[in-house]
Chains A and B, each alone.
Chain A
Amino acid sequence: MISAINDADAIENRPKLCIRNLSKIYDNKKVLDKISFDVREGEFLSILGPSGCGKTTLLRIIIGLLQPSVGQVIKDGKDITYASPASRGMGIVFQNYALFENMTVLGNVEYALKIKKETKRNAREKALQMIELVGLSEHMHKKPNSLSGGQQQRVAIARTLVLKPDIILFDEPMSSLDISTRLSLRKLIKRIQREFGTTIIYVTHDQEETFSMSDRIMVMEEAHLTQIDTPQNIIAHPANAYVRSFVLDNLKEKISSLAKYAGY
């Protein structure tokens, strides 16, 4: 058990998030098997794996919507394994946006602030700031059902940002969006990472996405952590045959067929 360390230097180098020996068993099935890894502050970590490998379960345990069977989640040196989701200083963005359909964009973004007893003016100001950041100022009085998928996802992002979380989790946020929307959303997320120094944990099954956005990639296979490293290192030294085939071969195939079309 890692307790709070007082040495200033150690605090500076302390990882933002430590996952220790995390296991989860559902109906006699091992969904997560002894997962351990660290996340550095301000880093963009992708969790890559096929459907059913446990990455969404891992995400839900990190944010506290689920409890592990064994193991710990430690943030800034404090054990938060059983802390409530709202007290962890984390935000989450879902694949199907999960917006409040009966409120406008503005309503969605400022709602959590109003609940937390911010003054009306403060709440509105902060909400307007975030709406402008995600580029939806001219749509702020619209309801979600008159927005496109990409716009709705921006609202979801603004909604978490407004509470100033230091870690944002993304659960396959782009799966239902087209390529050009994905590209502009990628830019937005990277911008948030840069400007606010937010730590990003990004779950996906899309190899191309992880390689273009991540500082490090964590490859998962059937409840196990197979490899966690920078994209370059994964390409240079894939840990096993699985990483090679799932990650690299698929990627190579995509690139080579594109290259052929482009005449290279």
Chain B
Amino acid sequence: MLYKLALIVILFVLIILPIIRMFIFIDHDSIVDVMNSPLFLRALQNSFVSASLATIITLSIALVLAWCIQRTRIRFKGIVSIVLVLPMLIPTISHGMGLVILFGNNGVLKNLLDLDFSIYGMWGVIAGSVMYAFPLAFLMIDNVMKYEDSSPYEAAQVLGIPRWRQLISITLPYLRKPLISIVFAVFTWIVTDYGVPLMVGGKFTTLPVLLYQEVIGQLNFGRGSVYGVILLIPALIAFVIDVVNRDKGNAVYVIKRFELSKNRIRDVFSYLFCGLVTLIVAMPIFAFGLLAFTKKYPADMTATFNNIIKTLNQNGGRYFLNSIIIATFVSLIGVALAFVSAYATARMRSTVSKYLHLIALTSMAIPGVVLGLSYVLVFKGSIIYGTIGILIMVNLAHFFTSPYVMMYNSLTKINENLEAVGHTLGISRLRMIKDVFLPQSKATILEMISYFFINSMITISAVSFLATTSTRPVSLMINQFEAQVQLECAAVVSLAILFVNVLIKGTVYLIRRYDWLNSIHLAREYPTER
């Protein structure tokens, strides 16, 4: 009981307290000020329009891609899946940068294909947003389609119902609920992003960028807080939709997986589409490589490591280390905190647990810029402000929900009578956690570490409010380098982040694939037998 209360206090301070402080900070004048400001109204409109268009495009691409992977017979599906993970391993601002490299004023492709348009502005923001959002949207839709039952389709086929009718009466209803949740989640994600509009927005200002400018540029916390509250609204709506949409528990548990028919034309289209998507995803990364390792693209194409040295000379190495340290601490503390919280809510159910669960879920609703702002309001002047500690805290608060939910789901699946067994055999709760629950959660813990680490490496939103020149993570250098017209250094940084994240993801994958953890465990138990 005490332990649950302690957790509630910790999470409350991390997540809820700052937001409340932000609400309190708002005064009547600020609200009036903002509502009458043409700058704000313009930014609001910009945000809404660009995010809506970006969401529609993202969902369309993701749907078709998921269909290609789940419902056509193409080879290399594994490779496509791997390539699609890459965009999620770099900061969103890097996607914007990729567009600048390819289509900016000195853009690689712009010059190559002799194109005549400016990447800066609304369509740049939309393009950049689509680039980082569609892999995630794809993953979510893919997951839904993977577990679709093929039986209704077989029944329809026997009844002579044409394919297009099947789409309308079977596929769409099945996808409707998850799609609604996904649409709102993607929209929220895009509308609260700060990296892409910062890089390619130009004069096209969106709300998160406006918030940053007002707070960091002009120290206008009052107006910033109003923007912050407004940015909470999409997430709130998404949350409500999710709750309303919750599966009423009538799910079919035994499904028949799809057996794919042979269809040359369909597969050719699928190859083309997947190929195109893979190309689009790989291009920016390839461009980063070109820029990072040549003297001066496109003028001087000699290979060099000079750019790396240039980056290191400007404290790149130090900031990179900061990022690693932050990511490591966030992973370790985050996994521990999330596990302990999930254990309290999943295995020690009570009314108090419900509040704990609710607080844990709210972290997902708070956009990074809003969290950053509210942390400034609460912690400025305290000893933790300006240290690397506050960066660790804000990332913990920012990324808490997903890993918590992963562990919650994992613990819920474990036999509900195990506590009773421990009780009757005289085994303490702690022992049961150590010897039974933790070992059975190994895979989940690895995924949680991966999630915390990768997100800490790529985030720029919250930390941009709280970093100082000594605590700065490397992701914040990208914007700086672009402003200094040193895109090659920005490319180096993006690649460095990508490299570390690929390493982490790859290690987790290998550990799970080859079950290294288990082999170590078994070897210890049976050293000479067998």
A interface with B by C-beta (< 8 Å): 60, 63-65, 84-87, 90-92, 94, 96-103, 107, 111-112, 115-116, 141, 159-160, 163
Which residue of the partner chain A has the closest CB to B432? A100
Interface residue? B506 (CB, 8 A): no
Q: Which residues of chain B are within 8 angstroms of A101 by Cβ–Cβ distance? A: 414-415, 440
CA distance A60 to B420 in the complex (A): 9
**A86-B423, A92-B424, A102-B436 known, 6 other contacts, Cβ within 8 Å:** A98-B421, A101-B415, A107-B525, A111-B435, A115-B425, A141-B530
Interface residue? B483 (CB, 8 A): no
A103, chain B: closest CB distance, angstroms: 8
Q: Which residues of chain A are within 8 angstroms of B525 by Cβ–Cβ distance? A: 107
CA distance A64 to B422 in the complex (A): 12
Which residue of the partner chain A has the closest CB to B521? A102
B131, chain A: closest CB distance, angstroms: 41
Contact A86 B426 (CB under 8 A): yes
CA distance A92 to B417 in the complex (A): 11
The answer to whether A85 and B418 touch (CB under 8 A), given A100-B436, A101-B440, is no
Contact A96 B426 (CB under 8 A): no
CA distance A115 to B423 in the complex (A): 13
Contact A94 B424 (CB under 8 A): no
Can you list, as one digit per residue, whether each of B379-420 has a CB less than 8 Å from chain A (1) or not (0)?
000000000000000000000000000000000001101101
Interface residue? B431 (CB, 8 A): yes
Contact B423 A98 (CB under 8 A): no
Q: Which residues of chain A are within 8 angstroms of B418 by Cβ–Cβ distance? A: 98, 100
The answer to whether A102 and B427 touch (CB under 8 A), given A65-B420, A96-B415, is no
Interface of B: prevailing SS? helix
Which residue of the partner chain A has the closest CB to B431? A115
Contact A96 B425 (CB under 8 A): no
Which residue of the partner chain B has the closest CB to A66? B420
CA distance A171 to B398 in the complex (A): 45
Which residue, B414, B423, B431, has most C-beta atoms of chain A within 10 A? B423
Contact B425 A159 (CB under 8 A): yes
Which residue of the partner chain B has the closest CB to A87? B426
Contact B426 A92 (CB under 8 A): no
CA distance A5 to B426 in the complex (A): 29
CA distance A87 to B530 in the complex (A): 37
**Quick one: which of B414, B417, B423, B426 contacts A116, CB cutoff 8 A?**
B426
Contact B415 A115 (CB under 8 A): no
The answer to whether A84 and B423 touch (CB under 8 A), given A102-B436, A115-B431, is yes
Which residue of the partner chain A has the closest CB to B529? A141
What are 29 A-B residue pairs whose CB atoms fall within 8 Å in the complex? A64-B423, A64-B424, A65-B423, A84-B423, A85-B420, A85-B424, A86-B424, A86-B425, A86-B426, A87-B426, A90-B424, A91-B424, A92-B420, A92-B421, A92-B424, A94-B420, A97-B415, A98-B415, A98-B418, A100-B418, A100-B436, A101-B414, A111-B427, A112-B427, A115-B426, A115-B431, A141-B530, A160-B424, A163-B425
**Quick one: which of A86, A98, A163 contacts B417, CB cutoff 8 A?**
A98
Q: Which residues of chain B are within 8 angstroms of A102 by Cβ–Cβ distance? A: 436, 439-440
Q: Which residues of chain B are within 8 angstroms of A91 by Cβ–Cβ distance? A: 424
Q: Which residues of chain A are within 8 angstroms of B427 by Cβ–Cβ distance? A: 86, 111-112, 115
Q: Which residues of chain B are within 8 angstroms of A64 by Cβ–Cβ distance? A: 423-424
B212, chain A: closest CB distance, angstroms: 47
Which residue of the partner chain A has the closest CB to B423? A85
Contact B420 A112 (CB under 8 A): no
Q: Which residues of chain B are within 8 angstroms of A98 by Cβ–Cβ distance? A: 415, 417-418, 420-421
CB interface residues, B 279-303, toward A, < 8 Å = none
- Considering the complex of A and B, which 6 residue pairs feature the smallest CB-CB distances, nearest first? A86-B426, A98-B417, A102-B439, A112-B425, A85-B424, A85-B423
CA distance A163 to B427 in the complex (A): 12
A61, chain B: closest CB distance, angstroms: 13
B106, chain A: closest CB distance, angstroms: 57
CA distance A100 to B439 in the complex (A): 10
Contact B436 A112 (CB under 8 A): no
Which residue of the partner chain A has the closest CB to B420? A65
CA distance A65 to B530 in the complex (A): 40
